Structure 1
Amino acid sequence: MDERRGAGESVKGQPARPTRRLLALNHFANPYDAPGGTRLLELTERLEGWDTTIVAANRNLFTQGPQPPATDAFRTVWTPPYGANDATRVLNWAVFAVGALVTGLRLPRPDVVYASSPHLLTGLAGWAIARIRRAPFVLEIRDLWPQILVDMGRIRAGSLTHRLVRGLEQFLYRRADAIVVLAQGAAQAIAEDGVPPGRIWFIPNAADPADFEPTAPREELRRRYGFDGVTILYAGAHGPANGLDFVLDAAAEVARDLPQVRFVLVGDGLAKPALMTRAARRRLTNVVFLEAVPKNEVPDLLAATDAGLHVLADLPLFLYGVSPNKLFDYMAAGLPVLTNTAGEVGEIVKGNDAGIVVEPAQLASGVRQLVAAGPERRRRWGRNGMRYTAQERNRSLMAARLGELLDQLTG
């Protein structure tokens, strides 16, 4: 597994290398003025000598609403709506893959094609474009499919569906010129599948503290968002894998002895309506649901908060195969982190003294520890997390690593 960090330096006196084209496919990529992940945009805009075009869906993953208008650097393809994890969602994936393939073939010939999961149909479209246009193919693995579907009980191991998805996974692993992973555990799992370690590149999620400067003083922001007491904020997807029922359980458990605590859940997803119904049924007045916000508003939101909440369902894969955006956003913003995920995520938080790690169903215990620690201890955790992201997990560092990979593929 290649973990080199520096991009190759140019030789003094040599002419500048002409700009090369990177075609990046990511069904769920977003521009800064939309809610959701902006990893691909943040990495590629830092690349030197590369002109990048990102192809994404015209429908936002969180809100299911339309994405902002496309630009030369950000193309969108039409996808049908869906409202559940059923055949309509699979159709949405398939339509995106076909649209991305057609769009990619209409654009100028790329020097490298970069396709990001989670669903592997995007990878298949990327491989096809790379094969037709005779360009190197990079596969980014955000979630290990089909393992996560098995862990969540969506498909049965050994079933026809499992064998088909597993076959597609192996097909893409064998044909990718390089595989980018976001977690060390994913790299190990892929290597155990027979992929040479030299073709696996570790480029995890990251965040830059400089990108999280708020636009107003903290107290003004707290008034703007209506925050009071000790505000523990979750910002991200509201889906079955996110384990937000654990948050409702914790809120019910601490409601009486910690009345000053507020849980704020920001975002959207398929599970949100059911979560809101359950919170109302349980009369959880200490839980507040807010709509998803654009990425460029996140710094203000986090600055008004006392702690960042990272929570996932209790699945084996999450111990080794995830690299959550929100975790690094919290840390870069100087927030202490409360997470219910051990393994790699827990080691980052615990190893850098950046917050509290608890068992999946023990969030209430973590909340009590967070409150008992007091403001100064929470600030110290936040400073430690900010220092870690600045030194080890900043976007420029990850972009340099990606640039080295692309330079290597194009000679």
Structure 2
Amino acid sequence: MHILFLTDNFPPESNAPASRTFEHAREWVAAGHRVTVITCAPNFPRGKVYQGYRNKVWQSETMAGIRVVRVWSFMSGNEGFALRTLDFVSFMVSGFFAALFVRKPDVIIGTSPQFFTAVAAWAAAAIKRKPFVFELRDIWPDSIRAVGAMQNSRLFDAIEKLELFLYRRAAAIVSVTHSFKRNLISRGIDGTKIHVVTNGVDLDRFRPIPKDANLEAELNLAGCFVAGYIGTHGMAHGLDTLLDAAVLLQADPRGADVRLLLLGEGARRDALIARSRALDLTNVIFHVAVPRGEVARYWSILDLALIHLRKTDLFTTVIPSKIFECMGMGLPIVLGVRGEAAEIVTGSRAGILVEPENAAELAEAILDLKSQPRVLQEMSSAGRSSSERFDRTFLAGEMLKILQTLPRRR
């Protein structure tokens, strides 16, 4: 089978969509299938082309047996809704035309969170008369409304109609959460074509490893109890709560040796750094994003992983993919997310829950766990054992089964 996959994130970018697509495609190639990925020059999250790449109309490379076609797009970092939308739309157009030149695909997949990529995949599938699969990673545009990034209700309604159109036209929808599936069914989408393949973890890469002593020394963290957030510093993540918790920890004698590490990029990063300086926080360390291959080293120096989203009903349907990396690493989790993500963490006994955007509860949870090394060890072991249910190789196989059941012509 020849699988054509459209995504605007792909390695060497290291965010969750890029990792999921690459790891699934790698497994499909290993199973004997052809995979062509259409993407853009790597530029996430700053909107700047990575070293060694150019923003060209067409360039091609092979990565782990995957044919990767990179097309031109307008690039924007976190410079406002209008520019980001132009970024998305430009890739939609370029990706669509590139897909027309890919010979004999058997199925065409478009992935969200921004569904303009799915529009390109649907259009190409319609012309080529092949099944269109919508991989649903986020209920977009609801997530934009949840963080207040779009106020125009008419525009929102128009985008929502386009969203429903794509769901109805898809031969199959692959959702990353059961909550998303329930949401779509409640809006009239045929539940028989909605399949759930959660995010997962590459257990060969994310496994328990000793603390990286060199990295601890470099960041001046030796002898400290380190709680860390690794990931996008975006509007959805509510990371001001971590700074508010840092204020409380800095004022508490029990928190004298506690440090918070925030690693990553995103729309809120500069503002968070400025606020940390204004609060005179000496217990918070900011670090730029690192290549995907380096992430495990940084996870290794943490005693606790902090995973947090803003307190909104929509985010009860979200499962942050970093949960599975932490479980694979055997890293205890403090989770500020409700809903399906909370069920996974508590069900696996890999961590504890705190109320989203509750800094006092977060600070107290960090101090409480710091004083209970035995509990931390139990969480570590439980998380590692449970991570096997979310092995990326297995999940890639489950998605492949869905693709193989689709008719070759539509």
Normalised to the residue count of structure 2, the TM-score between the two structures is 0.90
Percent identity for Structure 1 against Structure 2 = 31
Relative contact order (alpha carbons < 8 A, sep ≥ 6): 1 or 2 greater? 1
Shift of 1:78: 2.0
Q: In structure 1, what is the Cα distance between the partners aligned to 2:385 and 2:209?
A: 21
Match of 1:107 among 102, 107, 110: 102
Tell me the SS of whatever aligns to 1:64: coil
| Stretch deviating more after TM superposition (280-289 or 58-67) | 58-67
Tell me the SS of whatever aligns to 2:103: coil
Match of 2:321 among 291, 316, 325: 325
Superposition map of 1:380-399 within 5 A: 380-390=378-388, 392-399=389-396
Shift of 1:137: 0.5
Note the residue ranges of structure 2 that are not aligned, 5 or more in a row: 54-59
CA spacing shift, 1:87–1:182, aligned 2, 3 Å = same
Match of 2:361 among 351, 362, 365: 365
Which residue matches 1:36? Answer: 15
Counterpart residue type for residue 192 of structure 1: S
Tell me the SS of whatever aligns to 1:233: strand
Counterpart residue type for residue 247 of structure 1: L
Counterpart residue type for residue 287 of structure 2: L
Tell me the SS of whatever aligns to 1:46: helix
Which residue matches 2:87? Answer: 92
Which residue matches 2:135? Answer: 140
Shift of 1:325: 1.6
Asked whether 1:289 is paired with 2:283, we answer: no
Asked whether 1:337 is paired with 2:318, we answer: no
Note the residue ranges of structure 1 that are not aligned, 5 or more in a row: 1-19
Q: Cα RMSD between the aligned structures? A: 1.9
Counterpart residue type for residue 317 of structure 1: L
Q: In structure 2, what is the Cα distance between the partners aligned to 1:36 and 1:147?
A: 21
Please say if residues 254 and 364 of structure 1, whose CA atoms lie closer than 8 Å, have aligned partners that are also in contact. no
Q: In structure 2, what is the Cα distance between the partners aligned to 1:346 and 1:75?
A: 38
Number of residues of Structure 1 aligned to a counterpart in Structure 2: 387
| Stretch deviating more after TM superposition (256-265 or 368-377) | 368-377
Counterpart residue type for residue 61 of structure 2: T
Please say if residues 233 and 267 of structure 2, whose CA atoms lie closer than 8 Å, have aligned partners that are also in contact. yes
Which residue matches 1:3? Answer: none
Match of 1:71 among 38, 41, 61: 61
Q: In structure 2, what is the Cα distance between the partners aligned to 1:85 and 1:339?
A: 29
Tell me the SS of whatever aligns to 2:27: coil
CA spacing shift, 1:44–1:410, aligned 2, 3 Å = farther
Asked whether 1:53 is paired with 2:36, we answer: yes
Match of 1:130 among 125, 128, 133: 125
Deviations 1:65-115, CA, capped at 9 Å, x for gaps: 224645132222222232422311111111010111111111222111010
Q: In structure 2, what is the Cα distance between the partners aligned to 1:110 and 1:168?
A: 25
| Stretch deviating more after TM superposition (355-364 or 258-267) | 355-364
Q: In structure 2, what is the Cα distance between the partners aligned to 1:296 and 1:169?
A: 34
Q: In structure 2, what is the Cα distance between the partners aligned to 1:325 and 1:130?
A: 29
Please say if residues 203 and 392 of structure 2, whose CA atoms lie closer than 8 Å, have aligned partners that are also in contact. no
Normalised to the residue count of structure 1, the TM-score between the two structures is 0.89
Tell me the SS of whatever aligns to 2:37: strand
CA spacing shift, 1:183–1:284, aligned 2, 3 Å = same
